[in-house]
Structure 1
Amino acid sequence: MKLTSRYEQTSCRLVLEGLPDLSAGQSSQTIGILTGFSLALAGKTELEGQRDHLQALLNVVLPYARGLISGVARPQGAQDVPVVIRPVDGQHELELRSSQPNTPPLRLPLDDAELSDLVRCLDRLQLDPQVAVPLEWPAPQPLRRSELRHRLPLARRVAAPLTGIAALLVAGVLASLLPTPKPPSSAPAAVSTPSRGG
């Protein structure tokens, strides 16, 4: 018995098809074995694929969206993976590479709203209790030091060191203005002796 889960937003529709995995004790209404999925973006070619294509989509789109939220538009995806996403001219380009030889990659431009709708569909998939397909969801990664340095203005980056140097200089000047204590005199006091008359 084939099951279907559908996730729709304004410009995106994600449909999963699969079967329940009764051997794992799942409900007959739970997708435990993914047989395929389709992704339709408004005005663009409808995409179809298997579990490894969906996994590749998750591995690049979600980290890319997290980077955008942090103000860092970093391309995601390597040369040997079927899905890549990158910033292009103020928008986003989703590149899908076919496993068939001599097939050029499909490049889909996405604006911010379309990318947001795609991320919402993937989030709804992750939270759906009726889908128990063992997918690996990418863990959030912290920004690199260079990216954090780029986000902070130069004035904020040098403010702390300059404040420390200024505090040391002020403390040194104030210490030099303090009077130095005089050392106690070490000369013995003169003792008068009575003179004897003859």
Structure 2
Amino acid sequence: MKLTNRYEQTSCRLQVEGLPDLSAGQNEQTIGILTGFSLDLAGHTELEGKREHLQAMVAAVLPYARQLLSGVPRTCGADTDPVAICPQSGRHQLELRSSQPDTAPLTLLLDDAELADLVRCLDQLRLDPRIALPFEQPPLQPLRRRELRHRQPLAQRIAAPLVGVGVLVLSAVVSALLPLHKPASSPAANPTAVSSPQR
């Protein structure tokens, strides 16, 4: 018996179809074998594909959304992957590549709301207990130091170097103004000292 699960947001509808994997002991309401999916984004062509295409979409779109929230958007998905997404003139370019050699890739431009709806649908899919398939994501990577620099205010970035230079200059000025102490001379060491005459 074929099962169909649907996940909907305002501008996005994701529908997956599959069968229970009875050999793995799954119940009849659990999708253990994904046979296909369809993705309908408002104002765009409806997309259809197999499990590997859906997995590639999860592996590209969700990390891209995390990078976007961190303020460092960058391309997710290699040139050889079925799905890639990158920032494009204030929007988000989703590129889907067919496995057929003579088919041109399909490019969709999503605004922030459409991307947010797509992310919510993909998250609902991943967290659905009725889906017994692991949709893997790339491991989380911390942002590099150079990617975090632009997020710190300029005053905060130059405060430590300026304080260090100021302390060094102040120490030099104070050292130059302090008088040098001459050692006190003893009478025995003074050759001009005259001894009083004896009577």
Query: So what's the TM-score if we normalise by structure 1?
Result: 0.86
Deviation at 1:39, TM superposition (A): 0.8
Corresponding residue for residue 71 of structure 1:
71
Deviation at 1:80, TM superposition (A): 0.7
3-state SS of the aligned residue for 2:183?
coil
2:114 and 2:5 map into 1 onto residues whose CA distance is 20
2:67 and 2:86 map into 1 onto residues whose CA distance is 11
Deviation at 1:118, TM superposition (A): 0.2
Is 2:32 aligned against 1:11? no
3-state SS of the aligned residue for 1:27?
coil
Query: So what's the TM-score if we normalise by structure 2?
Result: 0.86
2:24 and 2:73 map into 1 onto residues whose CA distance is 40
State whether residues 34 and 50 of structure 2, in contact with CA within 8 Å, keep that contact through their aligned partners in structure 1.
yes
1:133 and 1:186 map into 2 onto residues whose CA distance is 95
1:97 and 1:134 map into 2 onto residues whose CA distance is 22
Unaligned segments of structure 2, at least 5 residues? none
State whether residues 58 and 138 of structure 1, in contact with CA within 8 Å, keep that contact through their aligned partners in structure 2.
no
**1:95 aligned partner, one-letter code:** E
1:29 and 1:60 map into 2 onto residues whose CA distance is 28
Corresponding residue for residue 94 of structure 2:
94
Deviation at 1:138, TM superposition (A): 2.8
1:187 and 1:17 map into 2 onto residues whose CA distance is 109
**1:137 aligned partner, one-letter code:** Q
1:195 and 1:95 map into 2 onto residues whose CA distance is 115
**2:20 aligned partner, one-letter code:** P
The Cα offsets for residues 49-92 of structure 1, whole Å up to 9 and x where unpaired, read as 11110111011111111111112221222211111112222111
Q: Percent identity?
A: 68
1:126 and 1:168 map into 2 onto residues whose CA distance is 57
3-state SS of the aligned residue for 2:138?
coil
2:132 and 2:186 map into 1 onto residues whose CA distance is 92
The Cα offsets for residues 5-58 of structure 1, whole Å up to 9 and x where unpaired, read as 211000001111122223333333222221111111012111111111011101
Corresponding residue for residue 2 of structure 1:
2
**1:87 aligned partner, one-letter code:** P
Unaligned segments of structure 1, at least 5 residues? none
1:136 and 1:187 map into 2 onto residues whose CA distance is 91
3-state SS of the aligned residue for 1:73?
coil
Corresponding residue for residue 35 of structure 1:
35
Corresponding residue for residue 138 of structure 1:
138
**2:30 aligned partner, one-letter code:** T
